[in-house]
Amino acid sequence: MRDFNEKTITDAVIQRFIGAGDPRVKQVCESLVRHVHDFVRDVRPSYEEWEYAIDFLTRTGQISGPARQEFILLSDTLGVSMLVDAINNPVDGKVTQSTVLGPWFVDDAPVFELGADISGAMRGEPAFVSGKIESEDGSPLAGASVDVWHSDDDGFYDVQQLDKLGGAAGRGRFTTDNEGRYWFWTIKPTRYPVPTDGPVGEMLHGQGRHPWRPAHLHFLIRAPGHRKLVTHIFDSTDPYLDSDAVFGVKDELVRDFAEHPAGVAPDGSRREAPFATIAFDFVVAKQG
């Protein structure tokens, strides 16, 4: 076949996939071509605009590496990551809702005893974080693994400033006790902008958007026989809750940090300075 035009080219391209061995590959490629062609027919780019698009994607790849994944950030800021999350973790009313993993998770975080202080060299207001992990049938999950990580009060994660901090900080892994409980000390995190010094920053600027994420604590919870839960607890006072740059906020994940004067903390320790407390009980789904 030859002489394709604006109308006939789409089916002609899809026709070429007839020999695809894997039906899922065929289905995904067909849908991709239909949507991309419809997009191009809708937008009607000039050659200059098409070249800009190619250059934008090239730079998105070039700036990516082991320490930075601009394509994931692109997916996050276009709402694609949360759409994939919504498809794979439908809300069922019982199980704690999930949200984005983000780029700052580290799979070999330092392991701590319950009650430890994970703030390391980070400075900020002390915060006591506690709660329990339950299965969807209400039973407490003893021995569940709880990873937590968060920014400091300047909005940076430890992995963005390892030279300054001298190692992991605001990050740790715990194992729940016999009643499924976890508790630890850290510092109160703050809001922060997603990285804007690359193509995604250029895109946000072009779209007239801010890059901020509301203050949050990340959690990743693993328990035998249960689905992994990737989620956050958000600070209820944050001004960016309704305009999170990556669309990750869910109402049920928003909590108050209660403020306390110096004195006795919930774990019985005596604090010489004011501190905050926050509590969250997580419910995880059974493996389907």
Question: CB 233 → Fe ion: shortest distance, Å?
Answer: 11
User: Of 102 and 120, which CB lies nearer to Fe ion in the complex structure?
Assistant: 102
Q: In the bound complex, what is the minimum distance in angstroms from residue 165's beta carbon to ligand BEZ?
A: 17
Asked whether the beta carbons of 277 and 260 are under 8 A apart, the reply is: yes
266-271, Cβ contacts within 8 angstroms, sequence gap of 24 or more: 266/128, 266/130, 266/183, 267/115, 267/128, 267/183, 271/126
In the complex with ligand BEZ, the residue whose CB is nearer, 132 or 213, is: 213
Sign of CA dihedral 22, 28, 34, 37: negative
List the structure tokens of 127.
Answer: 């915060």
From ligand BEZ, Fe ion, none, interface partner of 74 (C-beta below 5 to 8 A by class): none
Closest separation in Å from C-beta 114 to ligand BEZ? 24
Shortest separation between residue 266's beta carbon and ligand BEZ, angstroms? 27
**Least separation, in Å, of the C-beta of 189 and Fe ion?**
8
Quickly count: other Cβ atoms within 10 Å of residue 260's Cβ. 16
CA 255 to the chain's CA centroid:
17
Residues at the site binding Fe ion, with contacts judged by CB under 5 A: 102
Q: Is 234 left (phi over 0), alpha (psi -120 to 50) or beta?
A: beta
82 binds, among Fe ion, ligand BEZ, none (CB under 5 to 8 A by kind): none
* For ligand BEZ, the closer CB: 102 or 170: 102
Which residues of this protein are in contact with ligand BEZ, per CB under 6 A?
Answer: 73, 76, 100, 102-104, 194, 213, 246
User: Judged by CB, which is closer to ligand BEZ: 10, or 99?
Assistant: 99
Q: Which residue has the tokens 């809750």?
A: 241
Q: Of the two residues 230 and 283, which places its CB atom closer to ligand BEZ in the complex?
A: 230
